[in-house]
Amino acid sequence: MKWFDGQRRESNGAALKNGKLYLFGRRGVFVLKLWPSPRCWWKPPAREWCHKRPAFRFRPSWLAKEFLGSRPPPFFLSEEEGCDGQLPLPFPTDESWQRGRAAIQGFFDAIPKSVRAIVAPFPSRQWHLLSLLARCPGAVELARSAPVIAWLLANNFEFHRPAVKQPMRAARSWVRRPRRELIQWLGFPASSVKILSRIVPAAVSIRQMIALRSALADPAVLKLLGHLPIINAGVMAIVELPALRAHVEPKLLLEVAASPHERVTPDCAPNLEWFLDLAEELDLPVSARRFITTRSVMSAIAEAQWLQDALFWRRLRARDPLSLRHAQFPKPPFLPSAGISPLTDAAALIEEGRVQNNCVGDCASMVIAGRFYFYRVESPERATLELCKSAARGWVVGQVKAKNNGPVTGQTRAFIDAWIDEVERAEQEVPEEAPF
């Protein structure tokens, strides 16, 4: 297919012409009309043109990476320099990349800086908010004082079932109404205007806001959030779950709200949930326990690790009344080496799980059954190695994980592969027959 410039587009690119930005990518062609009347049309592969609310991150660098790729090197080796006249990678030329980057920048330069400052902090649905600010008089004033409420209004069709058929017309009719009435129309309590105005835009998503709306139906949550100067992702993750709300004090929420680590991704809430799940499995009475500070949460995490070990032994006792605590492990399939040593009993497995924060402590029965074996890796980095017994290939390497189930480096994998090769070569060596 040929486009506006008469050229066939087979790869990524960008061009600015006649007040429109043309973006060519793997998902098809996007045509964006410039401010002050932003519109978007999309041509997917093998389909017709349609209107689109694009899920772009409206930053020039993001669009350049998505539709132009990495910037090509400033020069390529010539044939005399040893590459036979061929490009090492299918890069566009630096000149075409710069033209595409200038086209993308031109699209953003048409948008006032004050509008870009409102839209940029939100991690998703930026086009929806941009369209609201451009096409709805009074939306800019609302967004300056209450950006999250403006974002909710821009996505009003997500907060109604059935969805609003003409969301932009509905937004125009509501944008200048009192905010208490506006958020009530979106399903939030009228008394939550100040709470919504304190939410960090970077923590906002449709799922998060629907969950918060359900939580705010409880007057206790309104009271709990009313004293917070700022509401981030960590706070919302705690209050949206009744099981977590029952175990936190306002002082803990204040500390979570002030933490920069909780701004976009919750950290305290998953730890609390993990602790409570373990306590429930062990039938421990924790209903009256309330956490005051993050220090008390860290103490609960340490307690949860102890609970996890206790749960492991409880499961073993359920399988075998005699318990497998002192059961004999099979002989390790491979002998130890410098930096790699087998975990030869249940106590060693539990200690490895505690140190590395993984679940190998719950795998003793699988080791005893002869299906798995685990090794402690101490060089070139600390890791846990899993060997699996295959009917066709014998013992093979399974998972290799660093602490907290993180990935290991290529150097560690190469070290383990070399150890396996050395062990297999030693097993294949057959001593010469002694002369008779």
Rounded Cα–Cα distance for residues 420 and 269 (Å): 41
Does residue 405 sit within a domain?
yes
pLDDT at 8: 42
> How many structural domains are present in the chain?
2
Does residue 29 sit within a domain?
yes
Does residue 390 sit within a domain?
yes
Q: Are 75 and 91 in contact (CB under 8 A)?
A: no
Q: Are 416 and 340 in contact (CB under 8 A)?
A: yes
Which residue's entry shows tokens 């910037």?
Answer: 71
Does residue 414 sit within a domain?
yes
Rounded Cα–Cα distance for residues 401 and 422 (Å): 22
Residue type at position 97: W
Does residue 146 sit within a domain?
no
Does residue 18 sit within a domain?
yes
Which residue's entry shows tokens 């990518």?
Answer: 25
- pLDDT tens-place values along the chain, 436 residues long: 334 444 444 468 899 998 899 999 888 899 999 898 999 999 988 889 998 888 878 788 888 888 887 666 554 444 444 444 444 444 456 688 888 889 999 999 999 999 999 999 998 999 999 999 999 999 999 999 999 999 999 999 999 989 889 999 999 999 999 999 999 999 999 999 999 999 999 999 999 999 999 999 999 999 999 989 999 999 999 999 898 898 999 999 999 999 998 998 888 888 888 778 777 766 777 777 888 888 887 777 666 666 666 666 566 555 554 455 567 888 999 988 888 999 998 888 888 988 888 888 778 878 887 888 999 999 889 999 999 887 666 788 888 999 888 888 888 888 888 888 788 776 655 444 433 3
Report pTM. 0.66
- Cβ atoms within 10 Å of 424's Cβ, excluding its own: 12
Last residue of a domain, one of 61, 84, 111: 111
Does residue 169 sit within a domain?
no
The boundaries of the domain holding residue 346 are 340-426
Does residue 56 sit within a domain?
yes
Last residue of a domain, one of 84, 111, 138: 111
Nearest Cα neighbor of 307 from 341, 282, 332 is 282
